Amino acid sequence: MIWIAIAIVGIIIMVIVDIKKQELTKHLQNKIIQIKAPNPENSHPKKVINFINEQDLFTIKQVFNQFIELGINIPEELKYAFEEKIKNGFIKKENFLWNISLEEYDFIQDEIEKYSNNYVFEVKGLQEDRYRKPLKGCIIYDELQLIPEPQNRFDKNAIKIKSPEGLIGYVPAQETEEIKKILNQNHKVYLKEVSEFGEFIDDSVIIYF
């Protein structure tokens, strides 16, 4: 009788475990249905990279497989980001954002072709984490703002550089006068390049005017 009772309890436990598994599978499937993944074929690359970075591994696997099944053309850089997440469970998103240039996209080309001149300079201040952190969320050719900061206690001629993610540094002091002249003209400012060397980060900005 004891063995029969044990067997019955075992069967009950197996049934409960199976039900729990089914409930979990259904929950995960519903989660996929609810998530609106950006289409890598026509979405802003930054949006796709952020999606890959933020979603869990199960979701990314399902979404990637669905894209493949649907025959969606995934740009090589974005495909590599999906594969990196699936392989390692995470991505270092700045590695992808800093290697994809929006300059290749029509909506940037349409903007910059209006200007006949450009000016490039290196950003000052990236030794500080408060500037490096926002930079890690930027993609090459993100549009920037150059904002004079006359109240700056170190330099009344200072010009800060604001990205969509926040403040990423300052214009070098020796170039502020030249850049102020450009700011009086019609212009567009973009993040041009970011290079990482161990603990050191360099980046440059380009102004079209």
Summarize pLDDT for 127-140 with one digit per residue, the tens. 889 999 999 999 99
Share of the chain above pLDDT 70, in %: 83
Is 50 exceeded by the pLDDT of residue 31? no
The pLDDT of residue 185 is 95
Mean pLDDT rounded to a whole number for the chain: 88
Q: pLDDT band for 15, please (50, 70, 90 cuts).
A: low
pLDDT in tens, 148-169: 999 999 999 999 999 999 999 9
Any idea which fold 102-208 has? Alpha-Beta Plaits (3.30.70)
Read off the pLDDT of each residue in 63-84 and give the average, rounded to a whole number.
Answer: 95
As annotated, the residues of the chain forming the CATH 3.30.70.2330 domain(s) are 102-208
Q: What span, in angstroms and rounded, lies between the C-alpha atoms of 208 and 109?
A: 12
Q: What span, in angstroms and rounded, lies between the C-alpha atoms of 48 and 42?
A: 10
Residue 118: φ, ψ to 5°: -145, 160
Read off the pLDDT of each residue in 65-79 and give the average, rounded to a whole number.
Answer: 94
Coil, strand or helix: which one is 205?
A: strand
User: CA torsion angle for 178, 184, 185, 189 (degrees, to 10)?
Assistant: 70
Q: pLDDT band for 33, please (50, 70, 90 cuts).
A: very low
Extract the tokens encoding 81.
């980001």
Q: pLDDT band for 13, please (50, 70, 90 cuts).
A: low
C-beta separation of 169 from 126 below 8 A: yes
Share of the chain above pLDDT 90, in %: 74
Q: pLDDT band for 115, please (50, 70, 90 cuts).
A: very high
Coil, strand or helix: which one is 73?
A: coil
Q: pLDDT band for 200, please (50, 70, 90 cuts).
A: confident
The pLDDT of residue 199 is 80
Read off the pLDDT of each residue in 109-116 and give the average, rounded to a whole number.
Answer: 91
Q: What span, in angstroms and rounded, lies between the C-alpha atoms of 191 and 75?
A: 21
Q: What span, in angstroms and rounded, lies between the C-alpha atoms of 118 and 206?
A: 7
- Among 41, 37, 33, 76, residue whose Cα is nearest residue 55: 37
